[in-house]
Structure 1
């Protein structure tokens, strides 16, 4: 199909069937994501023209257009309604609502800015559709110097600068005055790390729109990958019930970091809305100074009593209601208490003779630990020096209150730009780890 660039259409004359000018083109209206049959159309069809004549704006429906080309827009006749234009649900204006706005390039997993738009006629259709997004520098030049010539583009093929509209997603928040059918279903299929990177580049309003389109688990995984203060800003844009549901799915330490960056009244309201168990875990963590070991630990770890046999320990782990997040180490305590007696590697429990081996036989008793009020930087340094994947954090009575995983230590050791490039090696983006006490 031959492509027409929107920037070169703005200001063009609109002619009647005799070739007489009746108005100039100010903007184009398209129907975004209209439903045809049981599926959405990929390319928004032209709904009408916003025309300008003698200081007056009026709407010309697409059905009245006889010819629509880069250099000629001709109507069937000169009879047009001069009533004030009012948009209907599902309609967007290309100049007002799309040009210079941010979109998401789903295929490229990046945020883009619209410098121009490409329209094209499908076979056997007289009126065009929105088919492409031009993000090139040349598009900006074209808008400044519109008489510099029309680009010769005969077909739409994916490249770095001219993107297929089917490969991008629009934000309903860019046209808040109308109701749009924008599901963000394709973004919801992305890896949470990719979603988080997109959210970092978008406004809080756009970020909230995307998060609202995700299921609770995916939203939680994505927010865990973000800077807590930015994640908090996004949660501010959601309803309190939805925000609480997402916080319940987050790891307690990540949820605590986000809640700590919220307004105190908002934070308390969300904690009240969360399920009691998840809320209590977060409250426990919020009690510690953010610069202390307790402030960077998680209370989401695997704890078993030392009077279990290895086979019974494995069976207990298998019967957990939620999948453990970090199970490299099992923290072994005295029965009916939280007093830590040793640390066992899960691989040792798996590969031992489970029917004859006690859990207490597999533990390391001279373990290294930190106190809840130790400096966070000191805990991070210990993890780095010894190469542990996690470090237990104890209170003054020797009771384990949480663990610091190596990825949490990296937040203190590495520069932010490098941290964002490293995978979160301890997260499998699933549910929460429960305590096991007997």
Structure 2
């Protein structure tokens, strides 16, 4: 085993603990996905068995560390029973004992073990394969074992659906808009196969780039549990927009399947009219306590999952620090944070000239606000002066453009400027509305 890789046999059965050190289960398998070309498979997550022999999936984004003693995870984990996607492969269940051929030899061998390594923060891939002669029991070091890089072996017993796996592997490396365009151009049957094989987070990102009618058709085609998983991976404001387009009964059923905290964020957004600051905002801006330093603020905005717009400003509030927060103190621009000493309190750097938006501010008011203050992100505060969310400029543009602009983009069209449509959008446009039954 190389110094930077970990063989799965060494960590299988290790306790999986949370950030407080409390054990939640044991590691049973590692989930990997093939990638295009000669790239090694990417590690998507771990299969963890809870104490009642109930297995769940833990994505690698939640894995804080892996060592010889334990696996440490952090954050919120979905506790639904693990169900493998079509494009996913389990190391222990699918790869161990699988026949392979080395590229430099013709003699067939079988996989004895597989190692994984961390290539970036919380980004892992398959590194090496331990090979042995056929007929030996799993994970027993009898006979000669050879360790080679993954790229040096050819898998035997290829399964059906390999072409779909190849397409999905290529899509995992694309940006969301390009994936959406590929899905848009596929036949319904082909799209169904690929959608079933895509990971939830990839599908969620692509879903937000599709025209509204295609979003509705796609989410409606999924079984309830999978649809809820995908909605959980979407930004809450995008999920609320999509649910607002569905039949009330289906929307409520999907909300009931979602994790309670995720569903509550979406339900709160559904209470606002769509073309208002409350309907446009995300309930997950970057929030700081009053005693946070500049260094702590910059550490939060380094999160790669944040959009550039959302990372452009942090918001200081009193406890609690999840929306709706305690009293809103003010917003701090990232440029100001970059100019100040790391030990300085961020609360002393708030922009006192910035008046927050109200949740009922119309789209026209919000767009003028962004133009007036030259912002790409703005706070939304309720009548009790609690921060309830933040609006980003991309959401404003999304609602000001003609409703079919995504469809035109998919078809490669550049629509002419429609001043009447732009004017209507500026005054709030046509209210598609969200059903009140979702409250």
TM-score, structure 1 normalization: 0.50
TM-score, structure 2 normalization: 0.50
Q: Which has the larger radius of gyration?
A: 1
